Chain A
Amino acid sequence: MNIDWASLGLVAITTVVAAIAIVGIFSLGVAALTSGGEHESGGSLVQSSPKPIAKIAGYLCVGISGLLVLYGLYLIIPQFH
């Protein structure tokens, strides 16, 4: 029997690393973008906007996720390579 353990391992590791990385980066972005917290004003909860630096970092993370999506498209569509 000829089992390609090397590529099996590679696929497994890539999957785990990629999943954690992408989910992590995007979650970091979401965390940063929603880091303002809530405060009561006029009887309702209002989301206050995050600090500018957090906002920039958040959009950066979301942007990286977007680029990863584009890379995924590049991998999926054979015409690109």
Chain B
Amino acid sequence: MTDPNPMLDPTPAAPATPATPAGVSVALAERAPHVSLFRKLASNPVGLLSMIILALVLLSAIFAPLLAPADPNAASIGDVLGPAAPGHPLGFDSSGRDVLSRLLFAGRFSLAGALLALAISLTVGTLAGLFAGYYGKWFDSVSTWLAGMLMALPAIMVLLAARAAAGPSMWIAMAVFGVIIAPAFFRLTYTLVRGVREELYVDTARVSGLSDGRIITRHILTVVRAPVIIQSAIILGVAIAVQAGLEFLGLSDTTIPTWGNMLNDGFANIYTNVSLVLWPTLVIALVCFCLTLLANVMRDVLERKSAAVARPASGVSPAWRLFSPPHRDPARQTAHEHRPRKRPPPHLPPPTALELVAANSSPAGSSPRVHSKGLPSALRRRRSERIPGSPARPFRLSRNGKRLAMSTTLFLVSMVIITALFFDFTNGFHDSANAMATSVATGALKPKVAVLIAAVLNVAGAFLSTEVAKTISGGIVNDALVTPTMIFAGLVGAILWNLVTWLLGLPSSSSHALFGGLIGAVLIGAGVSGVNFSVVISKIVLPAVVAPVVAGLAAGAATFILYVMIKRADKEPQAGWFRHAQSVSASMVALAHGTSDGQKTMGVITLVLITAGYQESGTGPQVWVIATAGLAIGLGTYSGGWRIMRTMGKGIVDVHAPQGFAAETTSAAAILASSHMGFGLSTTQVCSGSIIGSGVGKKLAHVRWTTARKILYGWLLTLPAAALVGGVAAAIALTGTIGLIIVFAALLAGAGAIYAISKRAPVSSSNVNDSPDVTINPEKAPVSV
């Protein structure tokens, strides 16, 4: 475990390989300083954090008798479901037992159960894999067949059957699970051993008369070690989750305290005391999460080292085959005789990612000479590459180098995707008013029905649109300079601005907020040259002026003509016709919005996935991206954004059905015209303009210009404000992983604060039409108008 890089270690190989080139003595001197796995893990913030958390959980389980304030099984009828009391900080469960004590003692049973499963699967799987891989023959076929059969069995069904046969015991269930999961280790070990067995040094060891046992322990096991450790962390997490799942269903021994049993108990009382579910959930999630993250970091660290073992000519290290199907490199097989010349002398330190990349890109570059020559600079580079806070760095690595920086990359990519979906959500509730505000205000559709229709059409639109934005910004910023961190910062700026305008009830363009955030982030991250200011004028400022004017003119003219033709359009039955027509036009706006705005987030996520190397360049969005982006915008739309809806439906003009019809029809026409004739207009600005126009076009209608002016100020501020937040976010996020986490925490805190403030004077589907004004403090709010 301390040295997962055995093939490079000449010490055990030296006596066994008399044919080794005469560089061994040098090798001992030049060996890279040995850094323990633990220290490497600790130097990674994610690894350190997960190790600390896991250690805390483990220690608290071990020392549970000392730490627990009470006996975990001592029930007290007076305290059933009782709240926190002195000495019982987490309260009592349904039997009046102390939750904290049970949580601590449960750790012992849950962890021990998971370790049992791990021990069994590790022993069975690894041993079988070693023998099958090394000796082959009939054992190979039998064990492979058995492993295939075990994998085909649905685990949960087998566990249920085991429970029926052997009774509800957690230990038996975990032992059975250990056997079921053993193929995971078997296949891993088998693949690795098969790969090593053909190696020259194993042949030499065999020829020189070493026993099989010695070869296996000295040369084979050491190769298997690193991937097996990684796999163990993953399996441990899976075992904890499966165990908790069984217990949650009540299928395990309910007499012992375990996290799953606590979950079961808490779930039964979820309506009386939610916190009973919260604590075990938190612990299970935390442990599984940390184990997965730790496995990720370990893979990162261990495989960076074993990458050194990789034959530079093929560039595939044994450990990298962990997640790829076993394959034989035919070139390597045929080159068997020449291998002594082709293999680099064992004294070379591990080649860096850059070297591997270089070796792969140039066909002739795989000679040992190149490596030894490139060594000092390569080492320097490696050190600079590991400076924390250059998360953009991995993205510049080529395809082969990408895995080396996997955990940082994965973390960053996950952050960007989560933030993008969050932005999509705010986009949804911001723009739900565009389509539906007038329909809600005129009563054409009930508020809940209106947002449901808008949400469904938005999701449908997201699935319908096949054309994905090829660039994130449409040329406003230099896309070549944009890194995922900047996108992240830009999204943060856009989200916060969207939330602020929502709080104030102002419709503002989500695309402009996104562009603004991006501009700010790029200004900080890449300098002034990164932003294309003439495009900012031609694509944002000019359309922002044009959209409301054109839409206002069109809607005004249409409304005017409508009222000229039908004098009594506001009265029944005419108004009924217009209400129906208005619903249709509003739905058109919602659908058009879904095809354009849902696609924006998909584009962002897809581009991030491509830059990070998780997706082939030139391919469209993956199905899960389409589904989650559609869902996020749909949920956002359904949640309504009632504050904005009130402003647009009641605040600017007191809209009547014919006006609403004229306004929505104009909006639909303007959006379709702009999307098909190449001059992009913002949906929000078009819709606001049409509503104002529909007020102007009706004689004597009252347009509340104060509100209109407020909206205008909002538009003017959108870009600079989002840019400011995006810039600050970028400045912090670009400092490194910690900065990234700080920005994300700040985003959550900001969003939470805005949400809390909005609760002072909430606007919901029930009171959206009660008043034209959106206020922040309740004392100012008029009761009704």
Contact = CB atoms under 8 A, between A and B. Distances in A.
B666 A69 contact: no
A30 B577 contact: yes
B588 A76 contact: yes
- Using C-beta atoms within 8 Å of the partner chain, give the interface range for chain B: 35 or more
A44 B581 CA distance: 28
A74 B681 CA distance: 20
Nearest to A58: B577
A63 interface: no
A30 B561 contact: no
Contacts of A23: 558-559, 561-562, 661-662, 665-666
Contacts of B584: 69
Contacts of A56: none
Contacts of A77: 464, 595
B678 A4 contact: yes
B73 interface: no
B697 to A, nearest CB: 10
Contacts of A12: 546, 550
A53 interface: no
Contacts of B619: none
B588 A19 contact: no
Interface stretch (B129-137, B409-417, B534-542, B713-721): B534-542
A65 B584 CA distance: 11
Given A22-B665, A26-B581, A33-B577, A72 B672 contact: yes
Nearest to B543: A8
Nearest to A18: B669
Contacts of B467: 78
A2 interface: yes
B574 A34 contact: yes
A31 interface: yes
Contacts of B551: 15
Among B464, B573, B677, B681, max chain A CB count under 10 A is at B677
B81 interface: no
A78 B465 contact: yes
B494 interface: no
B552 to A, nearest CB: 10
A11 B661 contact: no
B555 interface: yes
A27 B566 contact: yes
B564 to A, nearest CB: 9
A29 B676 CA distance: 28
Contacts of A7: 677-679
B461 interface: yes
Nearest to B672: A75
A45 to B, nearest CB: 10
Contacts of B676: 75
Contacts of B534: 1-2
Contacts of A14: 669, 673, 677
Contact of B550 (A11, A31, A73): A11
A34 to B, nearest CB: 5
A49 to B, nearest CB: 11
Nearest to A65: B581
B699 to A, nearest CB: 16
Among B534, B546, B553, B669, max chain A CB count under 10 A is at B669
A22 B569 CA distance: 16
A1 B533 CA distance: 9
Contact of A79 (B464, B555, B574, B672): B464
A12 B666 CA distance: 11
B670 interface: yes
A19 B461 contact: no
B557 A20 contact: yes
B550 A16 contact: yes
Given A7-B677, A20-B557, A15 B669 contact: yes
Interface in A32-81: 33-34, 47, 65, 69, 72-73, 75-79
A27 B561 contact: yes
Contacts of A4: 538, 678-679
Contacts of A26: 577, 581, 661, 665
Contact of B668 (A1, A34, A72): A72
B466 interface: yes
B538 A22 contact: no
Given A30-B578, A76-B591, A16 B561 contact: no
Contacts of A47: 573
Contacts of B558: 19-20, 22-24
Interface in B634-688: 658, 661-662, 665-666, 668-670, 672-674, 676-679, 681
Among A3, A20, A24, A73, max chain B CB count under 10 A is at A20
Given A11-B550, A30-B566, A79-B464, 18 more contacts: A3-B542, A4-B538, A7-B677, A11-B679, A15-B666, A15-B674, A16-B553, A19-B558, A20-B557, A22-B665, A23-B661, A26-B661, A27-B565, A27-B569, A27-B658, A31-B565, A69-B584, A77-B464
5 contacts: A1-B537, A4-B679, A15-B673, A19-B669, A20-B554
Interface of B: 461, 464-467, 534, 537-538, 542, 546, 550-551, 553-555, 557-559, 561-562, 565-566, 569, 573-574, 577-578, 581, 584, 588, 591-592, 595, 658, 661-662, 665-666, 668-670, 672-674, 676-679, 681
Interface of A: 1-4, 7-8, 10-12, 14-16, 18-20, 22-24, 26-28, 30-31, 33-34, 47, 65, 69, 72-73, 75-79
- Considering the complex of A and B, which 10 residue pairs feature the smallest CB-CB distances, nearest first? A23-B558, A18-B669, A19-B554, A19-B666, A14-B673, A15-B670, A16-B554, A1-B534, A7-B679, A30-B577
